[in-house]
Amino acid sequence: MPRQRPRTRSPCPAGSASSRGWRVAPAQRGRADAGASPWHPLSGNPRNVDPALSAHGPAANAGKVHRLSDECIHGFEDGLCAICFPKPAPEVPAKPAAVRRAPASRTSGRATPSRTAGASRGKPIQVGTQRLYHVTHIKNLPAILSDGALLADAGAQSAHPSVDVSSAAGRETRRSVDVAGRPVAGFVPFFLSPHARVWDSLRSREPDPRLAGDAGHYAPAEFVILVTGAAAALATGESAVADRDAALPLTRFGTGRDGSERMLHSLLADAEGEALLDAEFLVADAFPISSVALIGVSDEKVRDVVKRHLAEAGTNTKVAVYPPWFRKADEPLA
């Protein structure tokens, strides 16, 4: 069996059959070089071997045209040469970019009440822990301790203060406005803030229709503030909560324990605390001195006087010196 020659390209002049990447069997070489080949390189795909050439060997393929690759210089068909047709590099899936999370903030965005301890957003409101404040002149303290309670102006046992800073018109109005079947004057009033507006007018010595004309003659240090909690006030009996001055015509009230708690909750929901500056907590008839948690005073001198009155009455109520409660709202700290 004759030995087959390897399929290699030989240098050929431009324009010849070999220079175009295809070869003619030996029996037809002369005729192909002369341009008499029945096959033309543009008649079909020049990169594939003619599918009609299925026999092997030079005898079987004599006189037949073989179309070889015009790209592989090693004589292999397209795609079979690992050098001319290297396999593509395997695709490596791209790793997803890591997501960087912003660090959690260590500070709270919650609004802070500007003048008083109002409710904080995001936290449940505890109505019972709200502080209540009753302001009176220090000369009225001995009678209060003697009675064992703070008494309403028009209650079952009326109060007769030694120093009265309320205006006559204001007292009359409170006697004429009814709440839950009794006049507003039949309740002991408490502020919901130590910076309530009427108290701020008194300590600033500014005119206010609710204050007597001579109220400005008294220094803020002459007053004391009796402090209790809403839970203690609600437990004493009948109560009411007003969303502003209780004697005003448009004032809204929450009465009874449930109504008082709902109104108080609504007032405490004001994050700025402005609603607490006008609101009032009202306790019917009297409020026992035993339910007073502490008495706030402006300085040590007043504290000593208050302690002496408490000792004489056999009461050990706590006394605290807290000057900010006795300064007007815009007065800077010393």
Task: For residues 226 and 286, give the distance between their C-alpha atoms in angstroms, rounded to a whole number.
Answer: 14
72 inside domain = no
Q: Which residue has the tokens 């050439």?
A: 53
Yes or no: say if 281 and 241 are a contact pair by the CB < 8 Å rule.
yes
**Pick from 282, 278, 283, 276: which is nearest to 117 by CA?**
276
Cβ contacts of 143 within 8 Å, gap of 6 or more: 159, 160, 161, 162
Task: For residues 275 and 65, give the distance between their C-alpha atoms in angstroms, rounded to a whole number.
Answer: 104
284 inside domain = yes
Q: 226 has which bridge partners?
A: 134, 295
174 belongs to the catalytic site: yes
What pLDDT does residue 293 have?
Answer: 97
Q: Are strands 318-321 and 294-297 parallel, antiparallel or unpaired?
A: parallel
For residue 128, report the phi and psi dihedrals to the nearest 5 degrees.
Answer: -65, -20
Among candidate residues 23, 67, 174, 197, the one labeled active-site is 174
What pLDDT does residue 160 have?
Answer: 87
Residue 216's domain spans which residues?
Answer: 127-325
Phi-psi region for residue 122, left (φ > 0), alpha (ψ -120 to 50) or beta? left
175 belongs to the catalytic site: no
98 inside domain = no
The reply, when asked if residue 195 is annotated as ligand binding, is no
109 inside domain = no
Number of domains in the chain: 1
Per-residue pLDDT of the chain (334 residues; tens, 9 = 90+): 555 555 544 444 444 444 444 444 444 444 444 444 444 444 444 444 444 444 444 444 444 444 444 555 555 566 666 666 676 666 666 665 555 554 444 433 333 344 444 444 567 888 999 999 999 999 999 999 999 999 999 877 778 899 999 999 999 999 999 999 999 999 999 999 999 999 999 999 999 999 999 998 999 999 999 999 999 999 987 999 999 999 999 999 999 999 999 999 999 998 677 889 999 999 999 999 999 999 999 999 999 999 999 999 999 999 999 999 999 766 655 5
Q: How far is CA 100 from CA 97, 103, 106, 334, in A?
A: 9, 9, 18, 49
The reply, when asked if residue 131 is annotated as ligand binding, is no
Among candidate residues 203, 238, 261, 280, the one labeled active-site is 280
256 inside domain = yes
DSSP string, 273-321: -GGGGT-EEEEESEEEGGG--EEEESSHHHHHHHHHHHHHHT---EEEE
For the range 206-215, what are the long-range contacts, defined as Cβ-Cβ under 8 Å and sequence gap of 24 or more? 209/167, 209/169, 209/170, 210/166, 210/167, 210/170, 210/245, 211/165, 211/166, 211/167, 211/170, 212/164, 212/165, 212/166, 212/167, 212/168, 213/167, 215/165
What pLDDT does residue 263 have?
Answer: 96
Q: Which residue has the tokens 């396999």?
A: 87
What is the DSSP secondary structure assignment for residue 252, as one 8-state letter? -
Yes or no: say if 58 and 26 are a contact pair by the CB < 8 Å rule.
yes
291 inside domain = yes
**Helices H, strands E: what count in the chain?**
7, 14
E strand or H helix at 24, and its extent? strand 22-24
300 inside domain = yes
The reply, when asked if residue 134 is annotated as ligand binding, is yes
The reply, when asked if residue 173 is annotated as ligand binding, is no
**Pick from 180, 199, 193: which is nearest to 114 by CA?**
193
Task: For residues 322 and 306, give the distance between their C-alpha atoms in angstroms, rounded to a whole number.
Answer: 14
The reply, when asked if residue 151 is annotated as ligand binding, is yes
DSSP string, 73-102: TTSPPTTT-TTTSPPPPPPPPPPPPPPPPP
What pLDDT does residue 132 have?
Answer: 98
150 inside domain = yes
Neighbour tally for 123: CB within 10 Å: 8
E strand or H helix at 240, and its extent? strand 239-242
Task: For residues 108 and 112, give the distance between their C-alpha atoms in angstroms, rounded to a whole number.
Answer: 10
